[in-house]
Each structure stands twice: as structure tokens, then as C-alpha cells.
Chains A and B, each alone.
Chain A
Amino acid sequence: MSRQREDPVFNRVEELRLERGLTRQQLAEAVGVHYQTIGYLERGEYSPSLILAFKIAKALDAGIPEVFSIKPFKKGV
């Protein structure tokens, strides 16, 4: 299972989640996943499916490009 090793997907899930004052558990419940999955996503150890990416972006009230990217995000963006 090396999809994430071959094609890393960078994300700002943790940053945006904290900005919105959400816990991992709250975000997990909002998108219907286990709270550990949010941790894996935030650490870049798991790349979400497209549908999960959409759900997370919606829960964080942001667009997909604001949350996920195939290039590293610049600091402070």
C-alpha cells in the first residue's frame, strides 16, 4: 500500500482545524472517520480519497486547494 509513499499529498488539516477550534474527534465525527485517521492525515501518513478530501474541506469551511496540495504549502499561506 504505497500510494502515499509514491504520491505524497500535503495538507493543512491540522492548521485549519486548530484555527476553527475543532478537536480531532469533532472533525472525525463531522466527516465520518475514526479520530486516529485524522491524526494520520495530519501527519501526512495517509492520503485521503477524493470524497474524504471534499468532506474535510467542507467541514473546515475551505476549498480543496486550501487544504490539500501535491506540493508543500508555503509557511504562513
Chain B
Amino acid sequence: MAEPPRKKIYWTEGVTRKEVETALSTNKYPALYRRSVRRALVGIYAVLIALLVLSYSIAAVKLSSYVAAISGALLIAMYLALRYSVRLIADAPTELLDERLVAIRDRTYLIAYRWLSLVVGIILGFAIAGDFSFARDSWWPLVVALGMLIAGLPSMILAWTLPSEEPQL
């Protein structure tokens, strides 16, 4: 039986075969794979999400927009850095990972799901108890912040929990 053609682009995972293979094997920027650097990236990412959320509560419309736009742009840059600091393991399809990496990725998604449930619960609590209204014009930062949290959470957890990589021997 002929082998099925190798996929080049994994649309649902948002990665290409080439970028995953490169991310898994590259030795460029070794500092990126140190635990301290990964954890710093997680911290910055969390702060930027918080900033984006806080921009919603700034009364001055212009200032609110600037804070949202700057933190949103930085968030996208940090999102990319975070993903590469964990070698795209959180996003890679099973066929491009080995069994240990698949186990790590799957465990990460379980933890991410639990954290996300907590966050969504808190948001719903605030939405029900508070005066949140989508009628306000500038609610989009909240949606972007939630979207970036959902997208980045597996990489955040992975970056926080993975030990520093040892050099290639």
C-alpha cells in the first residue's frame, strides 16, 4: 500500500511541517530554551494580556486605544517568541513529534483546559455580577485578550514547566 502524501501545511494546528522540523532541530538562540528565559516570556505574556484587559477600563478613549494597540502588538510578538521557545511542541501535530513530546503536549492541554475553565468561570462571574456590557464600543480588547490567552495558554504552560534544555552531545 502506498504511503499517503506528507502534509506540508497543518491548517488546524496553524503550523507547517518545515517550521516544526526546523523548530525541533535548530540550535539557534540557545538562551530561548533556558527555563528562566521561558518563564520570563510567560510573565511578560501574562502582563500584556492584563494590560490589554485593563485598557478596557481606561476612561480616556484615546489613551485606552493606544494602550490596547501597543499591548496587542507586543502580545503578538511575545506569542511568536513563546511558541518558538517551546519548539512549537504545543502546536505541532502528532506525526511530527516523538512519543515523549506527544505525551508532554497532551498533558499540557489537560492542564491548559483546567486553567482555561477557571479563567472562563471568573470572567462569567464578573460578567454576571458586574456591569459588563457589549454595548460599549471598546470591548474588542477583552475579546482579543481572551483569544490570545486561549491561543497561548498551552505554550505558556509548557514554557513554565519544561526544564532547561541540555546541550546537544
Contacts and interface: CB of A to CB of B under 8 A. Distances in A.
Given A1-B107, A34-B97, A52-B98, 9 more contacts: A24-B169, A25-B169, A32-B98, A34-B98, A34-B100, A34-B101, A35-B168, A37-B98, A49-B99
Contacts of B97: 34
19 contacts: A1-B103, A23-B168, A24-B169, A25-B168, A32-B98, A34-B24, A34-B98, A34-B100, A34-B101, A35-B168, A36-B165, A36-B166, A37-B100, A37-B101, A39-B166, A39-B169, A40-B100, A48-B99, A52-B99
B168 A24 contact: yes
A49 B165 CA distance: 22
A62 interface: no
Contact of B99 (A23, A25, A33): A33
Interface in B97-113: 97-101, 103, 107
Given A1-B107, A34-B24, A46 B100 contact: yes
Contact of B100 (A24, A25, A33): A33
Interface residues of B, number: 12
Nearest to A40: B100
Nearest to A49: B99
A39 B100 CA distance: 11
Nearest to A38: B169
A37 B24 CA distance: 12
Contacts of A49: 99
A46 B163 CA distance: 14
Contacts of B100: 33-34, 37, 40, 46
Contacts of A48: 99
Contacts of A32: 98
Nearest to B104: A1
For the complex of A and B, 6 pairs with smallest distance between CB atoms: A33-B98, A37-B100, A24-B169, A46-B100, A1-B107, A34-B98
A39 B107 CA distance: 20
A23 B166 CA distance: 14
A48 B103 CA distance: 11
A35 to B, nearest CB: 6
